[in-house]
């Protein structure tokens, strides 16, 4: 029998490969957690973090008692819910379509084209959106709408249009990136399953419904639960840069992150910002545990833990 020491020696190469990732995780994820103390203090730069006065949960009152708390919380949850539902569906659909292409070179081309927006910064994307929606020089108001006999729309003072714009822009940026994971999962399915379905006379839709989706469902569930854990977080660039931080659009574009940022800029209180971040993390952690518990009761093999 091989001793425990011998097994460790045999696995030394694999353990050494884990070392850089483990160190990065400790340095950038666990060590900064000591900064949670900032959320419970009235930070005074002359006294330092440890010497500043302890004020308990007063920093949390800034967020929970503000008259805008319901609006920004509602926007954050609804947007992320739309991103999770529509984004996951779109990514799976794209992966299925790409896998079904007979010409693999053409499939790789489309995959590359759809993956490209992921590399664009939100500054670049906000410029593209502005080029389309600008009141005076935008493509829609300057070229498309006049040719269709429609009146120009002042997009940046009409909040009712922005839920659709925000969701569309997010899908355009992330669908190609998200499809890579599901395309890899589909590629890993045993080809014998597809051959058996073909011999049984299954159509493409039946193959997708009864073979592909069930076999990649564990990956879909894990991805969704990870996204649910960040349901109280928002893509700051999407909600700040793309709407150009226009005040009239706040009813439909203001989320927790943008609200906290503007408050931090105006008040300069990092304790409030830390409290909001801790609130988002704590709620996300509880939601992940709850969703994982539900999945584990339905199908233990598909749960995270």
Residue with tokens 């949960």: 57
- Say how many residues make up the chain: 305
Q: Which of 71-85, 137-151, 196-210, 274-288 has the highest mean pLDDT?
A: 71-85
Two tokens at 49? Answer: 């973090």
DSSP code of 222?
H
Cβ 212 vs Cβ 96: under 8 Å:
yes
Domain boundaries, the chain: 78-219+234-252
Give pairs for 261-264: CB < 8 Å, separation 24+: 261/236, 263/62
pLDDT in tens, 146-155: 888 888 899 9
pLDDT of residue 81: 93
pLDDT at 4 over 80: no
Q: What's the pLDDT tens digit per position in 38-95?
A: 999 988 888 888 888 999 888 888 777 777 788 888 999 999 999 999 999 999 999 9
Helical H runs in 101-137? 104-115, 122-133
Q: What is the mean pLDDT of residues 202-222?
A: 89
Tell me which of 69 and 173 has the higher pLDDT: 173
Q: Give the CATH fold of the 78-219+234-252 domain.
A: MetI-like fold (1.10.3720)
3-state SS class at 80:
helix
pLDDT recorded at residue 83: 95
pLDDT at 35 exceeding the cut of 60: yes
In this predicted model, which residue has the larger pLDDT, 23 or 274?
23
Residue 160 confidence (pLDDT) above 70: yes
CA distances from 240 to 78, 130, 256 (A): 17, 13, 11
Q: What is the DSSP string of 247-305?
A: GGGHHHH--HHHHHHHHHHHH--HHHHHHHHHHHHHHHHHHHHHHHHHHHHH-GGGS--
Q: 């500043």: which residue's tokens?
A: 52
Residue 2, pLDDT above cutoff 60: no
The token pair that represents 70 in the structure block: 């319901």
Query: What local confidence, expressed as pLDDT, does residue 78 receive?
Result: 93
What value does the mean pLDDT take over residues 7-18?
77
Residues 253 and 239 sit within 8 Å (Cβ to Cβ): yes
DSSP structure class, residue 13: H
d(CA 160, CA 249): 8
Question: What local confidence, expressed as pLDDT, does residue 1 receive?
Answer: 47
**For 85-128, what is each residue's pLDDT tens digit?**
999 999 999 999 888 887 778 878 888 888 899 999 999 999 99
pTM of the model: 0.84
Angle between helices 256-267 and 270-298 (to 10 degrees): 160
Residue whose entry in the numeric block shows the structure tokens 């999945």: 295
Q: In whole angstroms, what is the distance from residue 224 CA to residue 81 CA? A: 10
pLDDT of residue 155: 92
Q: How confident is the model at residue 8 (pLDDT cuts 50, 70, 90)?
A: low
Per-residue pLDDT at 112: 84
């Amino acid at each position: 029998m091989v001793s425990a020491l011998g097994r460790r020696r045999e696995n030394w190469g694999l353990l050494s490969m884990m070392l850089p990732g483990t160190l990065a995780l400790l340095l950038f994820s666990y060590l900064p957690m000591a900064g949670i103390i900032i959320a419970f203090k009235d930070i005074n730069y002359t006294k330092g973090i440890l010497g500043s006065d302890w004020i308990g949960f007063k920093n949390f009152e800034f967020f929970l008692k503000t008259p805008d708390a319901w609006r920004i919380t509602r926007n954050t949850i609804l947007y992320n819910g739309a991103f999770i539902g529509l984004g996951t569906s779109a990514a799976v659909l794209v992966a299925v379509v790409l896998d079904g292409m007979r010409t693999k070179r053409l499939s790789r081309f489309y995959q590359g084209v759809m993956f490209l927006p992921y590399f664009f910064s939100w500054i670049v994307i906000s410029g593209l959106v502005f080029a389309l929606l600008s009141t005076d020089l935008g493509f829609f108001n300057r070229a498309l709408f006049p040719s269709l006999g429609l009146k120009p729309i002042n997009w940046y003072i009409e909040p009712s249009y922005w839920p659709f714009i925000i969701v569309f822009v997010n899908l355009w940026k992330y669908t190609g990136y998200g499809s890579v994971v599901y395309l890899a999962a589909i590629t890993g399915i045993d080809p014998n399953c597809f051959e058996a379905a073909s011999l049984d006379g299954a159509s493409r839709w039946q193959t997708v419904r009864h073979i592909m989706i069930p076999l990649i469902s564990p990956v879909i569930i894990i991805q969704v639960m990870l996204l649910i854990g960040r349901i109280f977080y928002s893509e700051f660039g999407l909600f700040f840069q793309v709407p150009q931080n226009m005040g009239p659009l706040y009813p439909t574009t203001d989320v927790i992150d943008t609200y906290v940022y503007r408050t931090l800029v105006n008040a300069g209180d990092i304790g409030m910002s830390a409290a909001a971040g801790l609130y988002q993390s704590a709620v996300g952690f509880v939601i992940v545990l709850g969703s994982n518990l539900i999945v584990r009761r339905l199908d233990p093999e598909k749960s995270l833990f």
